[in-house]
């Protein structure tokens, strides 16, 4: 039995984290399309056109390293789009390169005048891992339901988020290179997606984990205004409103200080001369400069986005609270056991206390008093609970409360165990909803009728929201009610879907207050 547990978990971790590209489908037939940027040769399979590895910006190398992306030039002739492009440098083994700014498109077999809804999905991975070509995010099954699906790569880690003061002087922005890549991809979609049957005025941006953090930042970014009308946030909100990266969520001044220390490790200064030298260093050398950190997974060390006043405002939490954001429709939520994937099986109370101290700072004592380890709650259970509450759920309702004043908001609580990992006892883990939404990597040998029905309902809800701005089908009873901040409820997704009050709302309010007090 123990071997079965490990097999299921290892399979899931491989699906979720391993930097590999989805394989081509058997029997793909060549197909060409002619968007404004230039002709592409993709392929056709099971009623879907597939275009892989489309460059949306010039390679961010040389003087374009640690700089905003530069739009790709239109090309002559026909560019091959049958293979995924390289992924951003990251740990592991894979097709990695600085030349990584590529996107992928799955579209139904329709004419370029179809005006279908578009779903742009941003991958997770803590801003240090992942790609848009992972098998988990294969867009074919969603496209078969009448949606144009786009996934993309963006710069990760140091290459994606180093907040150089010299770069700020040069470009008026810094530390947000990966976010600027995503904005550039959205601009590419707006200009070219009609050729693939998509409607540039019907774009939904979605993401999970760090991808959800990115979506939350796009909602507050003036640069993204008009590039999307709807958003989906799965297990992640504005980093400033969470405890997922307390060493990384910094003011512009603090970020400059952290970058200066990075330059020091390479014997350089963060000035024009030092930046020029850093741009000439081999990428592997930059990635080898490790940052000292006391953070515990899923807390992430390194460099993360910076409120630089250009990509987003200096105080994004205040910006959200005031409603000075892009007023989009929102679908957002969390999984029951977000934290279990990151908790050591033999977690100790000392490890729990260490996590809370690093995550909550001056408020740690209050948090530990409210959530003690005792006979009823083990250290592992408390770590799972507080990671879920404070790292991957907090901040969600700040967005819901604000956006509900402008547009429709729908909140969910995903509470169904993936049958493929049920034997691990980890519950409804971080990222487990993705398989249900994309309908990929499902081993039906382990799935009963209830499992298959939940998968159908979850995918249908996402499809309905992308198509209509409402997770309910137009012809069915409006079971999934809109979020109301005066009486907040969320859709409980389990064997049966039911509306319920926000789970553990008093705890949510308590955690959010402590986190916002720290900022």
Show which residues are catalytic.
209, 338, 430
Closest among 456, 463, 382 to 416, alpha carbons compared = 456
> Which of helix, strand or coil describes residue 406?
coil
d(CA 283, CA 96): 11
Residue 327 CB neighbours (<10 A):
15
Cα–Cα separations (whole angstroms), residue 54 to 33, 152, 506: 12, 9, 47
Distance CA 231, CA 411 (A): 12
Residue with tokens 């298959």: 452
Q: Give, for 264, the enclosing helix (H) or strand (E).
A: helix 252-265
Distances in Å between the alpha carbon of 295 and those of 164, 259, 301, 351?
A: 23, 18, 7, 11
Beta-strand pair 198-208/230-234: parallel
3 state DSSP class of 251: coil
List CB contacts of 385: < 8 A, sequence separation 6 or more: 339, 371, 377
Query: Are 287 and 158 spatial neighbours (Cβ–Cβ below 8 Å)?
Result: yes
DSSP 147-210: -EEEEE----HHHHH---HHHHHHHS--S-HHHHHHHHHHHHHHHHGGGGTEEEEEEEEEEETH
Inter-residue contact 160 to 178 (CB < 8 Å): yes
Torsion from C-alpha of 502, 215, 138, 200, nearest 10 degrees: 120
SS3 of 327-375: the string is: CCEEEEEEECECCHHHCCCCCCHHHHHHHHHHHHHHHHHHHHHHCCCCC
Q: How far apart are CA 136 and CA 131, in angstroms?
A: 10
Rounded CA separation 194/197 (Å): 5
């Amino acid at each position: 039995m123990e071997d079965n547990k490990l097999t299921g978990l290892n399979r899931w971790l491989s699906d979720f984290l391993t930097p590999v590209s989805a394989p081509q489908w058997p029997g793909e037939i060549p197909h060409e399309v002619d968007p404004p940027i230039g002709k592409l040769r993709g392929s056709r399979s099971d009623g879907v056109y597939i275009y892989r590895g489309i460059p949306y910006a010039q390679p961010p190398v040389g003087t374009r390293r640690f700089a905003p992306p530069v739009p790709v030039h239109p090309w002559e002739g026909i560019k091959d789009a049958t293979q995924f492009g390289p992924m951003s440098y990251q740990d592991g083994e894979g097709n990695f390169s600085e030349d990584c700014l590529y996107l992928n498109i799955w579209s139904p077999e329709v004419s370029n005048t179809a005006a279908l809804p578009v779903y742009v999905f941003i991958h997770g991975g803590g801003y240090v891992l992942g790609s848009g070509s992972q098998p988990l995010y294969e867009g074919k099954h969603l496209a078969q339901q009448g949606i144009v699906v786009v996934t993309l790569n963006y710069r990760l880690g140091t290459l994606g988020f180093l907040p150089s003061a010299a770069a700020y002087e040069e470009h008026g922005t810094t530390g947000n290179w990966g976010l600027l890549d995503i904005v550039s991809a959205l601009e590419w979609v707006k200009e070219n997606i009609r050729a693939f049957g998509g409607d540039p005025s019907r774009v939904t941006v979605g993401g999970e984990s760090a991808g959800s953090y990115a979506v939350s930042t796009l909602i507050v970014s003036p640069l993204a205004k008009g590039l999307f009308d709807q958003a989906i946030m799965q297990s992640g909100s504005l980093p400033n409103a969470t405890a997922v990266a307390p060493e990384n969520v910094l003011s512009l001044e603090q970020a400059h200080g952290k970058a200066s220390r990075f330059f020091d490790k390479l014997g350089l200064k963060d000035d024009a001369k030092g930046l020029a030298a850093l741009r000439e260093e081999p990428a592997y050398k930059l990635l080898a400069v490790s940052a000292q950190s006391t953070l515990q997974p899923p807390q992430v060390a390194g460099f993360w986005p910076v409120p630089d006043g250009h990509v987003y405002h200096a105080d994004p939490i205040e910006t959200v609270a005031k409603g000075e954001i892009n007023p989009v429709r929102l679908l957002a939520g969390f999984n029951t056991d977000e934290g279990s994937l990151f908790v050591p099986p033999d977690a100790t109370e000392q490890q729990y206390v260490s996590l809370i101290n690093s995550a909550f700072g001056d408020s740690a004592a209050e948090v530990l008093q409210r959530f003690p380890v005792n006979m009823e709650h083990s250290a592992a259970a408390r770590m799972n609970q507080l990671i879920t509450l404070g790292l991957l759920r907090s901040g969600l309702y700040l967005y819901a409360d604000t956006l509900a004043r402008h547009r429709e908001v729908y909140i969910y609580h995903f509470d169904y165990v993936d049958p493929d990992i049920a034997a691990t006892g980890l519950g409804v883990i971080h990222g487990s909803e993705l398989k249900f939404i994309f309908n990929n990597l499902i081993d039906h040998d382990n799935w009963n009728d209830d499992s298959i029905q939940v998968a159908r309902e979850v995918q249908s809800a996402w499809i309905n929201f992308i198509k209509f701005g409402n997770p309910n089908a137009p012809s069915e009873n409006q079971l999934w009610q809109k979020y109301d901040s005066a009486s907040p409820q969320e859709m409980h997704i389990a064997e049966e879907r039911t509306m319920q009050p926000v789970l553990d709302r008093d705890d949510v309010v308590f955690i959010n207050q402590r986190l916002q007090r720290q900022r």
